[in-house]
Structure 1
Amino acid sequence: MVTAHDAEYSRSPAFAQLLLSSHERLTGTPLCPTAFQDAGEAARWLYGSAPFGLLAHGAGPDPVFIYANTTAQKCFEYPWEEFVRLPSRLSADPDAQGDRDAFVRSVATRGYASGYRGVRIAGSGRRFWIEDVTMWNLLEPDGTCHGQAAVFRSWSEI
């Protein structure tokens, strides 16, 4: 798999396929309302046109973001190059760390969780809500885990 710091990762058909297939396999529902001609088309749409924020962090004890679509980049006020170097825990308000950590642990245990709402911090320091969040493990069909992804379908200012 391509490394997260490679700008082409944002449009990687293999990563788009992992996002889509693991979401549907774990949640039982498709991530997107439309079918795509191929994984390349899906990757371009997810990154550049999706009307929702889509993030992913790698595996490990202090995971770093490996993906953020343009909607997420706008909400969080980080360009790709900064986003994919940010530990995901730093995206949450310090007062919300307990809730965030519990949500992440529940996903690790159950495969996915939905219905989350939490306070996040933009690059400028502005606080905002992410809402209607579903998070899932990025699992290959053979069980290999590449981390976790999250989609937030709405967001609002505090």
Structure 2
Amino acid sequence: MRASFFANWQKHWGYIRDVAPYADIHTLIGFLRSADTTELWNQRNLEEWQLPYVCLATCDFPPPTGVAAVHRPEWLRFRFDDRYRTLRDLWIESEPDFTFLRLTYRKPARKKEPGPTEFIKADYVDVDRRWLEGAYATPHKYVIAAMDRTFPS
């Protein structure tokens, strides 16, 4: 699974950015380091198309900084529906059928992370089992360099 992910990492990144606009590459890098530590790659029934959803559900996506800040001033979080209380529930199901949610929060004024008072809305994200068949733009050279530096071939 790990080798397949890295063969397709640019597609994974493209899909993650479609669902979480202006996501930071360092969020993905942190997820991948955690996946290596926890041996996520070895989970029974985990399929490659599910990996972006697992990444999105386990990471926070604060508003971007710099020039991109005007494009997404909100904080994003993602969740599987309530039938999936932990990620382990994904590997238990041989054919997981889940609903996926994008939760939007205002950037907190005096706290590090948003809480219930900053919640704005929840939107359904279309779960696409075939997203790997899509075409995605080549990542920015900074993104490619960050991935190459962190995970050299």
TM-score with structure 1 length normalisation? 0.28
When you count helix as a share of all residues, which structure comes out higher? 2
Greater Rg, structure 1 or structure 2?
2
